[in-house]
Amino acid sequence: MRTVAYVSRQAVGRVTPGLREAGLIEYIGNYPAIAQVVVQAMLEAGFVVREVTQPSGSADALVLGHGLAGTYSDSHTGALAALSAQAGQLATKGGTVILLQDTGGRFQPADERAWRGGLAGLARTATQEFPLATIRLIDVDFAGLGTRPAADRLVEELLSGGNAACVGLNAKGRLVPDEHPAFFPPNQTAQLTSSDTLLVTGGARGVTADCIIELAARTKAGFILLGRSEITPWPQGLPQTNDEKELRGLLARQASAEGRKVKPADLNRDARALLSGAEIRATLSAIEQAGGRALYLPTDVADPAALKSAVDQATQLFGPITGLVHGAGVLADKLIAEKTSEQVARVFAPKIDGLAALLSVLDTSTLKTIAFFSSVSARYGNAGQADYAMANEILNRMACWLKASHPQAGVTSINWGPWDGGMVDDGLRAKFAEMGVPLIPRDAGARIFADAVMAGSKCPVELIVGAGIAHD
């Protein structure tokens, strides 16, 4: 188990590879006032740079300023679209890409700029997908330093920072992330008791459910579980099974015995709904057997009105919410070259639109614990997961902001490696086996989660947990 500190480090004193010799550098970003100043500062330093609205295909290097202002949606989709447009060239010829963001230049944002903090996930993923290219993420405190001084600091970094992958520039200096082993004291209680109520997105199914069952055993608290699925009842007479293929066969035979014609797509949908319903019922019962109280409310966490109504209902039935576990997530893997804005929106919906909705309906000052399910994709990148890496990296930065504003609370964002369960299906399991990546056993992962939450305010904000890095 590891954590990340942001440490002061001097620049190596070498220009970023590919920038000096670039015949043309293109600056792209949505904010003309900032763009003009950055371009001017770069021209004065002798770079051949011009501002464009999208990559022309003839530049050797890009500077992407989407993360310097604006909403999380514009910042992340804009930068990803620009990289996607340049993907062919980056894959075959390499080149240089500088991704810019402003979350305060410290990686531990103390204000709402945290929402723009996901571009390190994109940079790390791009580094994996384009091994010939130099990709850097530079977080500059434009808001704090002022636009021209910030642009000057950026230019200085381009001239001296070499290929440092991830750098923060602020009034106090230059910071880089530095991983080291994480510890927290065992056998803590986090002051969570049977009178607490935790809201858990995605908690009825998958690995979040494993974690919540373990937390229920330790705290006997109440858990409000949210997910989109309905609790579909198991049809009378249909044999019980957890195997989707077997269930499709059983449903097909039942339909044929009743003289009904069913399409394969309908069989798939019905089998999945039955399995989801069974999994939700099993989670509710396991939480109660562990001594906790549990309620499932079918809710799309990305729908603010539905979320508000679920939270109102939950509060009436279980009392005030004193903890939040945000585990909802989906994948839509595709390489950057093929990534569409629809896929990005799908991946951002539960994790980031969901988080925005959660923060708009919850009083965070009353929360004793806040835990996010993030991923090693955010920390190291993962080919095909640019959107997922960005969303999870936003969770990491948002956890820093929440910790800064609620220091007494336990706030942690766990960057999980792959588990032996949940969204790791048989196909992914085989892929990880081929790559020699060990999977986190479900019981061990659940114990680490509960230990982290129980450590309360002593738990590091950023945790990295994988089967290979679980115990060092």
Query: Looking at 57-65, 191-199, 214-222, 294-302, which segment touches ligand NAP (CB under 6 A)?
Result: 294-302
Name which position in 65, 105, 418, 460 contacts ligand NAP (CB under 6 A): 418
Terminal CA-to-CA distance of the chain, rounded, Å?
6
CB of 329 to ligand NAP, least distance (A): 3
Helix (H, G, I), strand (E, B) or coil at 174: strand
- Residue 24's SS3 state is coil
Map the footprint of ligand NAP across residues 262-281, applying CB under 6 A.
276
Measured from the CB of residue 324, what is the shortest distance to ligand NAP in angstroms?
13
Is 118 near ligand NAP (CB under 6 A)?
no
Q: Does 330 bind ligand NAP (CB under 6 A)?
A: yes
Is 2:122 a contact under the CB 8 Å cutoff?
A: no
Residue 78 binding ligand NAP, by CB under 6 A: no
Interface with ligand NAP, residue 202, by CB under 6 A? yes
Separation CA 307–CA 298 (nearest Å): 10
Binding mask 120-149 for ligand NAP (x = CB under 6 A): ------------------------------
Residue 318 Cβ, how far from ligand NAP at the closest point, in Å? 18
Residue with the two structure tokens 């007479």:
237
Please report whether residue 208 would count as binding ligand NAP according to CB under 6 A.
yes
Find the binder of ligand NAP among 42, 138, 190, 204 (CB under 6 A).
204
Coil, strand or helix at 370: strand
E strand spans, 194-335:
197-201, 222-227, 293-298, 323-326
Token digits for 201? 């997105």
**C-alpha span between 178 and 5 (Å, rounded):** 5
Does residue number 350 form part of the binding site for ligand NAP (CB under 6 A)? yes
Rounded to whole angstroms, the Cα distance separating 151 from 223 reads: 48
CA proximity to 206, closest of 444, 431, 419, 453 = 419
| Residue 424 interacting with ligand NAP (CB under 6 A) | yes
Size of the site for ligand NAP (CB under 6 A): 30
Region of 41-49, 128-136, 327-335, 405-413 interacting with ligand NAP (CB under 6 A): 327-335
Q: Are 114 and 398 in contact (CB under 8 A)?
A: yes
Q: 164 in helix, strand or coil?
A: coil
Per-residue binding string, ligand NAP, 161-200, x by CB under 6 A, is ----------------------------------------
Q: Is 423 in the site for ligand NAP (CB under 6 A)?
A: yes
Q: Alpha-carbon distance 464 to 31, whole Å?
A: 34
Residue among 102, 157, 270, 300 that touches ligand NAP (CB under 6 A): 300
Closer CB to ligand NAP, 79 or 302, in the complex = 302
Does residue 416 belong to the site contacting ligand NAP (CB under 6 A)?
A: yes
In the region spanning residues 227 to 246, those forming contacts with ligand NAP, defined by CB under 6 A, are: 227-229
- CB of 453 closer than 8 Å to CB of 410: yes
Tell me how far apart the alpha carbons of residues 315 and 323 are, in angstroms, rounded to a whole number.
12
State which of residues 49, 166, 224, 349 lies at the interface with ligand NAP (CB under 6 A).
349
Report in angstroms how near the CB of residue 247 gets to ligand NAP at its nearest. Answer: 17
Q: What is the DSSP letter of 334?
A: B
Candidates 105, 292, 422, 456: give the one binding ligand NAP (CB under 6 A): 422
Can you count the helices (H) and strands (E) in the chain? Answer: 16, 15
Question: DSSP label at 382?
Answer: -
Burial, 70: exposed, middle or buried (Cβ in 10 Å; 0-12, 13-18, 19+)?
middle
**Which residues 6+ apart lie within 8 Å of 269 measured at CB?**
none
Nearer to ligand NAP, 60 or 387 (CB): 387
User: In the bound complex, what is the minimum distance in angstroms from residue 144's beta carbon to ligand NAP?
Assistant: 32
Q: What single string gives the DSSP state of each residue in 405-471?
A: H-TTSEEEEEEE--BSSTT--HHHHHHHHHHTPPPBPHHHHHHHHHHHHHTGGGS-SEEEE-TTTS-
Which range touches ligand NAP (CB under 6 A), out of 17-25, 48-56, 223-231, 238-246? 223-231
Interaction mask 358-397, ligand NAP, x per CB under 6 A: ---------------x-x----------------------
Please report whether residue 226 would count as binding ligand NAP according to CB under 6 A.
yes
Return the number of the residue (167 or 284) whose C-beta is nearest ligand NAP.
Answer: 284
- Take residue 408 and report the two structure tokens written for it: 């007494």
Examine residue 442 and tell whether it contacts ligand NAP (CB under 6 A). no
CB 201 within 8 A of CB 358: yes
For position 419 contacting ligand NAP by CB under 6 A, the verdict is yes
d(CA 13, CA 10): 8
Q: How far is the CB of 96 from ligand NAP (least distance, A)?
A: 30
Calculate the CA dihedral of residues 173, 176, 180, 184 and round it to 10 degrees: 60
Residue 445 found at the interface with ligand NAP (CB under 6 A): no
Point out which residues bind ligand NAP (CB under 6 A).
201-202, 204-208, 226-229, 276, 300-302, 327-330, 349-350, 354, 373, 375, 416, 418-419, 422-424
